[in-house]
Structure 1
Amino acid sequence: MTGRVAGKVALVTGGASGIGRSCAERLAAEGAQVVLSDLSDEQGAQVAGHIIARGGQASYLHHDVTDEAAWIDVIRQVREAHGRLDILVNNAGIGLGGSVIEMSLDDFRRQMAVNVEGVFLGVKHGLPLMRESGDGGSIINMSSVAGLKGAASLAGYCASKGAVRLFTKAVALECAGAQDKVRVNSVHPGIIETPIWDSIIGTGGPGANAAPQRSATLDAMAGAATPLGYKGDPSDIAEGVLWLASAESRYVTGAELVIDGGLSVR
């Protein structure tokens, strides 16, 4: 099946790497006009260029999701360039690990600002444009398995992703009540090979060894904790996002799409 989101306009935050990049590439491959946003301008422009080189439609915007004025400007640019918004993937996020008694209030607030306030601002400013066409749309908020169950040394991250989970359900009910044809769902990845883990498990830092160290650590974690016994790839999440963005999930709203190799049910 091809063209599953043909003619749709999609905005993907945090689209320069990891899950966001994979989502942007997958949506573009299925016909969407993709606007990806991030703070990493060089990487973001490269992703957009890669999509275009493969025959897709994409553009990149610099975007701090914690800044309301930036959201207003990004939505303005989407309206001016495309005249509509059909798919919003609130993917941008950060992960800060460590003991709750050692985490600074500044770090806790920064994580909440990106992971929760960024999603709130995306919905607040993206939903009106999505409603304008009268065709409805799909809002997909990136939560986590950490939004479903607790994890030691991830109290702040769990709090932020749990907030995204219930925020999603509340907005889904609001949209359903408004009969605006907008569906709102959350996605809950498990152990997925992405750079966000570098700050959570301490494998970040300069040098070429960062990614191999992360990969080896995640292999061990997934082998021990995940029933399927192996870690996921960003493309595994992108496939779920594509389904939620397409008409194939037209009767799905307020749901939690868990993609974790069975981690949450062990």
Structure 2
Amino acid sequence: MSVWDLNGRKALVTGGARGLGQAMAEALTRAGAAVMIGDVLDELGAETAQLLAKDGATAGFTHLDVTDEASWEAAVAATVAELGGFDVLVNNAGIEITELVVDLDPANLRRMLDINVVGTALGMKHAFRAMRPGGAAGDGGSVVNIASVAATIAFPGIAGYSGTKSAIDRMTRIAATEAGKLGYGVRVNCIYPGLVPTAMGMQLAVDCAELGLFPSVEEAVGAVVALTPSGRLGEPSDMADAVVFLASDASRFVNGTGLAVDGGMGS
């Protein structure tokens, strides 16, 4: 059996209703995994799960507000019950609010912290509880946190967002250390996606132009491409394939680290 084969794996993808999360869910199912999509976008999330199932995958949807502990408990329980286990968590849900440091709104910063940092931390907490020996699933597994190239570069307009993604990087490494020392059998890694022209990615370019950081949206995008040795923006499939790698046995000795999937932008 190929080390890339995910047959028999059961995954929960947060923020999986659209964008990068949807691409990650699709890639996991193509590799053979059963996938539960967790999102606050109930209608869209259910539609995405139905599309995956229509293509022959085992897929479901559960409401998940990553900032809420009870919501995590319910989502993990639904994943175990409906999929018959739980051994892959993709902590993808996140938001980005573009602001200059001089104009930072504390409410916006707290919102990013709550979703990006607290949400990721709660995901690891409840994944560990379910995947460790004696847990509801109990067979170990892999946690893939979605950080950002923003954690490794100094790009204007995203100080708050960069801070939250840097926090994800640090939490990833500590969580992996704890899981190893306590014998959970769970690997924890993160990826640093480059800019992808999803709705969220393009909104960043629009916001940067509106803030006067670049003369136009096109020049904001061009600045990113100019910083990228590969000479292009990322594609959802670039990020999704990295997630499949980290969820699979191909990465069996990769633990507590971050994988740059940014075309070299952060190097």
TM-score (norm 2): 0.90
* TM-fit CA distance, 1:109: 0.2
Equivalent in the alignment of 1:259:
261
Looking at structure 2, the residues matched to 79 and 30 of structure 1 have their Cα atoms a distance apart, in angstroms, of 19
Unmatched runs of 5 consecutive residues or more in structure 1: 204-212
Partner of 1:239: 241
Opposite residue 73 of structure 1, the aligned amino acid is: A
Shift of 1:112: 0.6
* Residue of structure 1 equivalent to 2:195: 191
Percent identity between the aligned chains? Answer: 38
2:65 aligns with 64
Runs of 5+ consecutive residues of structure 2 not aligned to the other structure: 208-215
- State the alpha-carbon separation in 2 of the partners of residues 166 and 52 from structure 1: 36
Inter-CA distance 161–108: structure 2 relative to 1 (3 Å threshold): same
Q: Within 5 Å, give how 1:193-232 maps onto structure 2.
A: 193-202=197-206, 219-232=221-234
CA distance in 2, matches of 1:35, 1:18: 16
Structure 2 Cα separation of the partners of residues 261 and 83 of structure 1: 37
Matched, 1:137 2:141: yes
State the shift of 1:135 in Å: 2.9
Q: Given the alignment of the two structures, is residue 104 of structure 1 paired with residue 108 of structure 2, yes or no?
A: no
Residue 248, structure 1, aligned to residue 250, structure 2: yes
Helix, strand or coil: the match of 1:101? helix
Aligned equivalents of 2:152, 2:11: Cα separation in 1: 27
Q: Identify the residue that residue 73 of structure 1 maps to in structure 2.
A: 74
Shift of 1:227: 1.3
Offset, 1:106 = 0.5
Residue 264 of structure 1: SS of its match in structure 2? coil
Residues 105-184 of structure 1 mapped to structure 2, 5 A cutoff: 105-131=106-132, 132=135, 133-184=137-188
Using the alignment, how far apart are the partners of 1:165 and 1:24 within structure 2? Answer: 22
- 1:86 equivalent to 2:87? Answer yes
Contact 2:93/2:115, CA 8 A, preserved across alignment? yes
- The C-alpha deviation readout for 1:6-52, integer Å capped at 9, x for no partner, is 01100000001111001100101111110011122222122111111
**What CA distance in whole angstroms lies between the structure 1 residues aligned with 2:238 and 2:145?**
16
Between the two proteins, the alignment pairs up a number of residues equal to: 256
